[in-house]
Amino acid sequence: MRGDQLCAVFVATVSTLVFPLRCQERSSDDSRTDFGSFREQIHRLHEVNSEEFIRHLYFQCGSCWAFSVVGAVQSVHAIGGSQLEQLSVQQVLDCSFQNEGCNGGSPVRALNWLKQTRIKVVPQSEYSYKAKTGICHFFSQSHGGVAVKNFAAHDFSGQEEAMMGQLVEHGPLAAVVDAVSWQDYLGGIIQHHCSSHWSNHAVLVIGYDTTGDIPYWIVQNSWGTTWGNEGYVYIKIGGNVCGVADTVAAVYL
């Protein structure tokens, strides 16, 4: 462990309800996860009269993979000294041809697309979120935005201290987790009963805290600020709880 410290890396993300990473039924020749029952459970759990939740619930699609990637890009951009600006999730959702829009996707595939094409992610104000897959809008290379130079994908299972180092060095990390048990999360540190067997959701790991008896990751989810710790979840460091260290990506701008 890296001593007793609190590392809260700067984060600039959009808090909106999104559904799991993979959004289609599993087939014999694909690794996509069946998440239909998980979506139904989330709907039933949050059948409340909250205007904020209803807005989140009915204007969403399976775009957590895009939120995770864009959250990492805009956070690292701001950490580098640029003006804080929300970037377009919808652009990544519409244009990342290696993914399937609202039907699910992979943060690594999205980052690979950004790296290969050198397409700039434009501000959200120029390409607003619609919560549905649309036609890709193209912009000229001279248009303003943020381009991804490179990224690194890691499997840090059993090496979470190294993951801490990556976060400190490179900024918030896009991560894929098993979030099935999160429907019951009300706060505190998740330590048990959160498997790493079913990757179904993408999030942003923004920091860690090792000052207390139980060290934990600080993770920003995208299910709104009424969920968890004002939109965040704390996951125990060590043991790869929720599969938080299995698939992690750092962004280089």
Task: Give the CATH number of the domain where residue 190 resides.
Answer: 3.90.70.10
Lowest mean pLDDT among 99-108, 129-138, 190-199, 226-235: 190-199
What contacts 169, CB < 8 A, 6 or more positions away?
250
Q: Is residue 175 part of a domain?
A: yes
How many Å apart are CA 205 and CA 250, to the nearest integer? 10
What contacts 63, CB < 8 A, 6 or more positions away?
18, 19, 89, 93, 101, 102, 105, 131
pLDDT of residue 61: 83
Q: Is residue 160 part of a domain?
A: yes
Q: Is residue 173 part of a domain?
A: yes
pLDDT at 38 over 90: no
Q: Is residue 62 part of a domain?
A: yes
| Total count of domains within the chain | 1
pLDDT digits (tens, 9 = 90+) for 10-20: 443 332 223 33
Q: Is residue 218 part of a domain?
A: yes
How many Å apart are CA 121 and CA 62, to the nearest integer? 19
Question: On the CB side of 167, how many CA atoms lie within 13 Å of its CA?
Answer: 29
Q: 27: how many CB neighbours lie within 10 A of its CB? A: 9
**Of the candidates 104, 85, 84, which has an alpha carbon nearest to the alpha carbon of residue 93?**
104
pLDDT at 101 over 90: yes
**SS3 for 23?**
coil
Q: Is there a contact between 139 and 122 (Cβ–Cβ < 8 Å)?
A: yes
Q: Is residue 1 part of a domain?
A: no
Q: Is residue 119 part of a domain?
A: yes
pLDDT digits (tens, 9 = 90+) for 151-195: 999 999 999 999 999 999 999 999 999 999 998 899 999 999 998
How many Å apart are CA 15 and CA 110, to the nearest integer? 20
- At residue 6 the predicted structure's pLDDT band, cuts being 50, 70 and 90, is low
Mean pLDDT of 93-110: 94
> b vs e for 220-234, b when ≥16 Cβ sit within 10 Å of the residue's Cβ?
bbbbbeebbbebbbb
E strand map for the chain: 6-8, 150-154, 173-177, 189-190, 201-209, 216-220, 232-236, 247-252
Domain of residue 231, residue span: 6-24+32-252
Structure tokens at 39: 């979506």
pLDDT of residue 191: 96
- Residue of 25 and 234 predicted with greater confidence: 234
Lowest mean pLDDT among 29-33, 97-101, 110-114: 29-33
Q: Cα–chain-centroid distance for residue 105?
A: 11
Active site residues: 64, 201, 221
- At residue 251 the predicted structure's pLDDT band, cuts being 50, 70 and 90, is very high
Structure tokens at 97: 């041809």
- At residue 79 the predicted structure's pLDDT band, cuts being 50, 70 and 90, is very high
Q: Is residue 223 part of a domain?
A: yes
pLDDT of residue 183: 85
Mean pLDDT of 224-230: 89
- At residue 3 the predicted structure's pLDDT band, cuts being 50, 70 and 90, is low
pLDDT of residue 7: 63
- At residue 60 the predicted structure's pLDDT band, cuts being 50, 70 and 90, is low
What contacts 239, CB < 8 A, 6 or more positions away?
none
How many Å apart are CA 225 and CA 16, to the nearest integer? 8
pLDDT at 44 over 70: no
